[in-house]
Amino acid sequence: MDEVALLEGLLQHYSPTGHEAEAVNYLVAQMQAAGLKAFVDEAGNAVGVAALTGEGPATVMLLGHIDTVPGLIPVKREGDILRGRGAVDAKGPLACFVSAVARVAHTANRNPVSADASRNQVSGNLKLVVVGAVGEEGDSRGAHFIKNKYRPDFTLIGEPSGWEKITLGYKGSAWFEYRVARTLAHTSAQNESACESAVNFWNRATQWASERNANAPKMFEQASPTLRGMNSGSDGFVETAALKFGVRLPPGLSVSELDTALRDLAIEAELTLVEGVPAYRAEKNTPLVRALLAGIRAACGAPGFTLKSGTSDMNLVAPLWGTPIVAYGPGDSALDHTPHEHILISEYQRAIEVLTGTLRRLPEV
């Protein structure tokens, strides 16, 4: 398999959320050509499976996502740089997953039974499942489908961490809609207008977050509200104002607790919780982490850990599966969703080497 061509081809199939089918079909064809059992599942996810010396006992789920945010970026190679929408978030990590699984499966097929624990062979039974999930940038319908279909023993989430870093957790998120209506009155009456009510609610919400965060110096431990939309209107008798906003949740703050706190601040107004998912932080001392640390060191890297202020499919599947879990993948997450999104080919190849070594070690840890 030409691993760089795999990623370049995946980037050329522009796949904003809701329009992933062509990219899915491309990836399934590439996985089949690499010897994986590959198919499109009922949710539209691209799935590739490699069973090494049997169907178990351990199953490793490598869950990436194939959709991107909107914004077409022409695919272009410039030396070590590969540009394109999704190069970092998250087709780079997904192509890394496919490439590593293909390498391990190829070695296992040539050496089906071995007690050799070297980096070049796999011992023990292992089933590897790669998923290019749809909808992660939207309603995560791909992850919602697979979370009830699989029960893996180990899980890797395909998100950019940088090839030397392991992501242990993501903040949660909750999205709200606020709406208030007020009877129109002359401005001299000094009554609170609908717009003033909305502004005052937002000020109370941000003040609540500031007070809660006073004893939480780290960003991962803070509640972070962000205003995403606002509008107002009038029919001549009643004026209305509406806000759309999100809050990033730290561990220890549930969606229901946040909802209750904000409702207490919404005076004579309607507050709707649209959706929410709690934060998740994985354990550090697990066989999966140990194998990945060894893989990074073997590739001459200096491993480290990170926590992300965003949200990923880890938040959805980890609480249900209860499996050792991390997020890993090449790329600089600061480039996520930007018009400058690109990945270093050398980093992408180094991450494939790391992940290949990790999967080969996993039955031994």
Same-domain pairing of 137 and 269: no
Residue type, 124: G
Helix, strand or coil for residue 307?
strand
Q: How does pLDDT run across 31-63, given as a tens digit for each residue?
A: 999 999 999 999 999 999 997 765 556 899 999
Give me the CATH number covering residue 215. Answer: 3.30.70.360
Same-domain pairing of 337 and 302: yes
User: How far are the Cα atoms of 65, 71, 110, 218, 329 from residue 95, in angstroms, in the given order?
Assistant: 10, 20, 23, 32, 9
Give the number of domains in the chain. 2
How far is the C-alpha of 26 from the C-alpha of 34, rounded, in Å?
A: 13
Same-domain pairing of 23 and 149: yes
Sequence-distant contacts of 23-28: CB under 8 A, at least 24 apart: 23/66, 23/132, 24/66, 24/132, 24/134, 27/66, 27/94, 27/98, 27/132
- Active-site residue list: 67, 136
Virtual torsion, Cα 177, 222, 140, 14, nearest 10 deg: 100
pLDDT of 1: 87
Same-domain pairing of 93 and 29: yes
* Domain closes at, from 249, 277, 305: 277
Same-domain pairing of 33 and 156: yes
Same-domain pairing of 146 and 286: yes
pTM here is 0.89
pLDDT profile of the chain (365 residues), mean per 10: 96 97 98 96 97 72 98 97 97 98 82 43 72 95 96 96 97 97 68 93 98 92 96 93 97 96 96 96 96 96 95 96 97 95 98 96 71
Angle between helices 194-213 and 255-263 (to 10 degrees): 130
Same-domain pairing of 230 and 97: no
Domain interval for residue 284: 3-170+279-364
Same-domain pairing of 235 and 271: yes
Same-domain pairing of 254 and 267: yes
Neighbours of 285 (CB within 10 A): 7
Query: What's CA 89's distance to the chain center, in Å?
Result: 8
Same-domain pairing of 105 and 220: no
How far is the C-alpha of 156 from the C-alpha of 258, rounded, in Å?
A: 29
Same-domain pairing of 224 and 241: yes
Same-domain pairing of 152 and 192: no
